[in-house]
Amino acid sequence: MTLIKSISGIRGTIGGNVGDNLTPIDAVKFASAYGTWIKQQRDKDNYRVVVGRDARISGEMIQNLVMNTLVGLGIHVIDLGLSTTPTVEIAVPMEHADGGIILTASHNPKQWNALKLLDAKGEFLNGEEGAKILKIAESKEMSFAEVDDLGEITINDAYIDLHIDEVLDLELVNKKAIEKANFKVVVDGVNSTGGIAIPLLLERLGVHAIELYCEPTGHFPHNPEPLKEHLTDLSEAVVKANADFGIVVDPDVDRLAFMDEKGEMFGEEYTLVACADYVLSKTPGNTVSNMSSTRALRDITEKHGGSYEASAVGEVNVVNLMKKNNAIIGGEGNGGIIYPESHYGRDALVGVALFLSLLAEKQMKVSALRASYPNYFMSKNKIQLTPELDVDALLVAMEDKYSKENLTTIDGVKIDFANSWVHLRKSNTEPIIRIYTEAPSQEEADNLADRIISEIKTFANI
C-alpha cells in the first residue's frame, strides 16, 4: 500500500487500485473532504482556495481533478499553475483565501504525488484538523453545490514574481552587497518549478546563474532528494564553470542545499545553520529545529546568546514550537528554512537570499564558511516497512534497551549519548523507518547507524 495519510498530507503513487494508491478517485475523495472541512470553518457566502503544483508529470491531471472537485463544492479556486510550496503558502493570506492545496510529493520520485493542505494562514494543518478531514473522507458526508452555486476557477500566474518581491523586501536581505559581490552560481532545478523561481530570484539579485536541469518538464534527471549521491552533475558543473557555489532544491522548492566552489556538499544540515548564523548576528533570539537535525544549530544559537529547542519531525510541529518559543528562525535539517519575518513555512527562496547576504557580507569562500561551523557528521538510513514488522513494538524494545541513556519519545525514539545521538522514527512520507545518527566523525556516525540497524534487524528477525 502506497497511499499515506499523515500530518504531511495525502501522498501516494499514481495508478493502481483505489484506496491503495493516489488514483483519480482518491484525489477527488480527499479534495472533497478538504473542501467540506473548509466550509465547516466559517459560514459565509463565498469560499476561496489557492491551488498550485510542482512540475511532476501527474501534476496537471491531479490539479484538474482537485480544482474541479472544489468547484463542485461551490468553492472558488485561484489557480497558480506551476508554482512552489512556499509560493502557495504566501498566496493564501495575500488572496484572503480560506485555504490552499499544493500538489507535490516533495522529494519523492516521479511516480509519487500528494495533496498538501493549508489553512487560512497559509500554514500546514495540525494533526487534529488533519484527522477531521480524514474522518470526513471516510464518512462520505459531503454535500455538493447546486448548478447555480458552482465555484469558478481564476488563473493567476503572477505569484512567483510576487513571492520574489516579498523576499527582496525582507530587511535582512542585503541586495546591494549581493549585487556588488558579482556571484556566479550553478542552479540545479531538478526539472521542476525551482528551475523557474530560483533563476528569477538570482537575476533580481544581480547573480549570474548557470542553469542545470531548469526546464519544468517533470522528468527528474536524478533522484529528486537533494543528497550528495544524487548531485554528481551539479558538482562537475560547479567546478567546470569555476562558480562560487551551487544551489539545488527539491521539486516543490521548500528544501535547499548548497555545494561549495570545490564541488563538495556544504551539507543540507548546514543550510539552516548558516542562515541562522546570519539572522542571529543581526537580530539575536531563539531557534527551533526538529529532533532529527544537527546539534550545530544549538551551538550557533547559544554562541549568539539565544536558546534552542527541538520539536517532533514535521513542519507543523516545528512551526508550533517556534511560535511557542518566539523563535526568530527555525526549520529542518533537510535544508528547510522557516523565517517568520516572511512566513511560517519552509522556503528555499528565502534561504537563498539569506545565504547570499551572509556570503556577500563575510566575503569568504563557501568552503571556508562551512569550515567555520561546528563539525558534525550524520548518517541517514532507512528500513523498508513490511506488513509483518511491528514498528511500535520495535521502538519500545529500543527504548527499553537504552533506558539508562537520555531518551526523548515525542516522535519515535531519540537516544542522546554524550557525543552522538540516534533517532528512530516511522516516516510521515514513505513506508519506511528512518534511522538518523550524528557524531563527531563520519566513521563514528556510520558505525553507530550500523550497530542500531543490526539491533533492529535482530529484534525484528529480518
Q: SS3 of 133, please?
A: helix
Averaged pLDDT for residues 194-203: 98
Averaged pLDDT for residues 19-43: 96
Q: Which CATH superfamily groups domain 163-371?
A: Alpha-D-Glucose-1,6-Bisphosphate, subunit A, domain 3 (3.40.120.10)
Q: Where are the domains of the chain?
A: 3-157, 163-371, 377-460
Q: Which CATH superfamily groups domain 3-157?
A: Alpha-D-Glucose-1,6-Bisphosphate, subunit A, domain 3 (3.40.120.10)
Q: Crossing angle of helices 268-282/296-303, nearest 10°?
A: 10
Q: Is 307 a catalytic residue?
A: no
**CA gyration radius for the chain?**
22
Structure confidence at residue 430 (pLDDT): 74
**Cβ–Cβ < 8 Å for 412, 424:** yes
CA dihedral 235, 239, 244, 246 (to 10 degrees): -20
Structure confidence at residue 9 (pLDDT): 82
The active-site residue out of 8, 83, 106, 292 is 106
Residue 140 pLDDT > 80, yes or no?
no
Q: Which CATH superfamily groups domain 377-460?
A: Alpha-D-phosphohexomutase, C-terminal domain (3.30.310.50)
The three three-digit cell numbers of residue 377, written as one number? 557528521
Residue 428 pLDDT > 90, yes or no?
no
Averaged pLDDT for residues 245-262: 97
- Mean pLDDT, the chain, rounded, equals 95
Question: How far is Cα of residue 57 from the mean position of the Cα atoms in its chain?
Answer: 20
Between strands 75-82 and 47-53, the pairing is parallel
- 550528495: which residue's cell? 228
| Cα distance between residue 415 and residue 394, in whole Å | 14
Q: Assign 336 a pLDDT band (cuts: 50, 70, 90).
A: very high
**pTM, to two decimals:** 0.93
- In this structure, of 136-150, 235-249, 289-303, 377-391, the range with the lowest mean pLDDT score is 377-391
Q: Assign 7 a pLDDT band (cuts: 50, 70, 90).
A: low
Structure confidence at residue 462 (pLDDT): 64
- For residue 432, the tally of other CB atoms under 10 A from its CB is 14
Residue 8 pLDDT > 80, yes or no?
no
Q: SS3 of 243, please?
A: coil
Within this chain, domains 163-371 and 377-460 share the same CATH topology: no
Structure confidence at residue 227 (pLDDT): 84
Residue 1 pLDDT > 70, yes or no?
no
Percent helix, strand, coil in the chain (nearest 5)? 40, 25, 35
| Cα distance between residue 302 and residue 308, in whole Å | 7
The three three-digit cell numbers of residue 319, written as one number? 512551526
Q: Could you tell me what percent of the chain has a pLDDT over 90?
A: 89
